[in-house]
Structure 1
């Protein structure tokens, strides 16, 4: 019996990606092992840390009861669950109805599957532009990020990154309808779904301008579909709150919003001017590093969708006010920032590259456990 062409191509793509996926599993498995041992020695539950703390509790509440919960804090702040986009809690609710799982464990399952899908999409993007070795290196670096433990939590980052990576890949390969659908789903996952929409729109606009003629129907359909998820949820919040600025008001209640980086700059200045001077220097060094990586991608002549997507994710993370401990997590979906490092790593001999990634993975595993066992949310 002949295999359908689509199935055959998928199998071939999976075989090419298999080393990257196995490496991803090994690195994230190490991180979970270190977390389990460290949490056990501290009398804590690794399962609870991953599935039932901070944002994951809000997602689980939405999955169980729907929207409508508000927490009023001293100082006038109002935390509404409408700050959280609906795709993850919707999947949690659906899976817990179909399988013998709590919504929290359903969230872990979604993250586990989505993180592998994200790794595959990241590999596909890296391989398409820079070759298989770079694709493998890119996945390994993404897995070994200091905040990589979030990829295994009942958070929305893995789901969003999977949708974003495959949407960008679809743009790069001219699959505009797929790009639009995936961008729409990304827009139902996190506010930064706007970065995926921007990648679809600007790439389509540049291609139309360069060609000097009207785009294909598929391109126009993809461009139309891309913002629908994000717009639908923001509009729903507006109707629910009775205000055109409803979603911004909800974010404001959490102390979030966009101020061009003023709050972030003030936070860094406060560190530099106080007893946490070393932490302030480390913060500036980290910001300088991610900006340098982005500029390296520009010099590397990365494809436009990658530059737009990574730039918007980075820009939104650095210019938003709010809880600054979450900045590294907010930048985690910007996998394209790692491409210059991946290209350099891929040029090394395999034993040396493996040695470097082993050391980086060990540091990442230790830091991830330390971070998650801390008092503040990631």
Structure 2
């Protein structure tokens, strides 16, 4: 196996991880009781299409509402504007060409995108590590406790594919080539804002190298800075594209944010949900401290030796994305899934030790935690107050 092509090695690792996840899904499906979507004990293909998969199917079949649906009190109701268009529209195109049903097309796009993401992630990791370590990094990514999301009709696989491709092009300083990839990424999931922030900080760093008091010999040339500045602009416009489309279609400037916050049950207030959740989990004193402790621990992670080996661009991405989550995210059970764009840290984990025992243990523990995630969050079981925790 050591002499096999990199793409074959990566494919085998990824497919093995997805087969493991499929076995966990099938075991959980046997015990699935009454639920909002189908009869108890569904088959595998039905079981993986629940939750947001049904919303993406709604967007693929019926598009997006021209006006925001509201109740008698004027409150916006759940609707498709919370779900970015690239994934459902690709599935609709596939269904038109092949005759597949909507959910089957969504699943096919997700599965192919997940494999493509693994291949691009390997190429990205090879920029910073040897072949064996990069492959272990892919194994960590492919078995991460929420990695089962890469084979269900969610937009995460497509988004990770485009994000990894954009990061690879940025690392290689092919800024102009990254522009169309970034625009597509911004239409797949809300990762445009942290990506634009990362590019802005990267531009400031490059400008400092070029015009600072200690200009190094390898300072970036003016042409590279111009390309980077153009990518910053494109990234910023891409980050605003989906909210702007929602505004243009519905006539409501806050159509996207009003829809997104429906699931929260309250308006968007930066940082506040983290402190609310902290107080709920740890009490009035420790709860206030908890977000600061979390941010401090993440900062220590970013300056650790294995993570420093990831290079400036990947560290900037992880920092900006986590900053984005701290500012805008309402921490809940879906937070685990939203950590997947931090996949560069999988390489940092692989670089922590070359021990086969350590690396194998990580894969085993990640795989076991997939069982926890699928049984606890993916399988539906009504809570005493109604509904269930979302995955």
Deviation by residue 1:42-72 (Cα, 9 ceiling, x = unmatched):
4233322312x22111111111111008555
Asked if 1:326 is matched to 2:334, the reply is yes
Deviation at 1:288, TM superposition (A): 7.6
Cα distance in 1, alignment partners of residues 189 and 278 from structure 2: 26
Deviation at 1:188, TM superposition (A): 0.6
Give the match for residue 16 of structure 2. Answer: 26
Deviation at 1:207, TM superposition (A): 2.5
Give the counterpart of 1:251 among 249, 252, 260. Answer: 260
Pair 1:158–1:129, CA change in 2 (3 A): same
Count of matched residue pairs: 358
Deviation by residue 1:63-118 (Cα, 9 ceiling, x = unmatched):
11110085556984522321221101111111110112111111111111111111
Asked if 1:264 is matched to 2:264, the reply is no
Give the match for residue 369 of structure 2. Answer: 364
Deviation by residue 1:244-298 (Cα, 9 ceiling, x = unmatched):
4433333333437653432122123212349xx9xxxx99998886565334379
Deviation at 1:146, TM superposition (A): 1.3
Cα distance in 2, alignment partners of residues 115 and 283 from structure 1: 32
Give the counterpart of 2:61 among 64, 70, 79. Answer: 64
Output aligned runs, 1:209-248, within 5 Å.
Answer: 209-212=208-211, 214-216=222-224, 218-248=227-257
Cα distance in 1, alignment partners of residues 370 and 237 from structure 2: 38
Pair 1:259–1:292, CA change in 2 (3 A): farther
Say which is worse superposed, 197-206 or 185-194, in terms of deviation: 197-206
Pair 1:313–1:74, CA change in 2 (3 A): farther
Say which is worse superposed, 183-192 or 234-243, in terms of deviation: 234-243
Give the match for residue 28 of structure 2. Answer: 38
Say which is worse superposed, 238-247 or 147-156, in terms of deviation: 238-247
Pair 1:151–1:95, CA change in 2 (3 A): same
Cα distance in 1, alignment partners of residues 291 and 230 from structure 2: 42
Cα distance in 2, alignment partners of residues 48 and 74 from structure 1: 34
Say which is worse superposed, 191-200 or 67-76, in terms of deviation: 67-76
CA contact (8 A) 1:182 1:226 kept: no
- Measured on the aligned residues, the alpha-carbon RMSD in Å equals 3.3
Cα distance in 1, alignment partners of residues 274 and 131 from structure 2: 38
Deviation at 1:340, TM superposition (A): 2.3
Deviation at 1:183, TM superposition (A): 1.0
Give the counterpart of 1:310 among 293, 318, 325. Answer: 318
Structure 1 unmatched ranges of 5 or more:
1-13
Deviation at 1:323, TM superposition (A): 6.1
Asked if 1:163 is matched to 2:173, the reply is no
Question: TM-score scaled to structure 1, two decimals?
Answer: 0.83
Question: TM-score scaled to structure 2, two decimals?
Answer: 0.80
Q: Secondary structure at the match of 2:78?
A: strand
Asked if 1:294 is matched to 2:302, the reply is yes
Deviation at 1:185, TM superposition (A): 0.8
Q: Secondary structure at the match of 1:333?
A: helix
Pair 1:306–1:250, CA change in 2 (3 A): same
Cα distance in 2, alignment partners of residues 22 and 284 from structure 1: 41
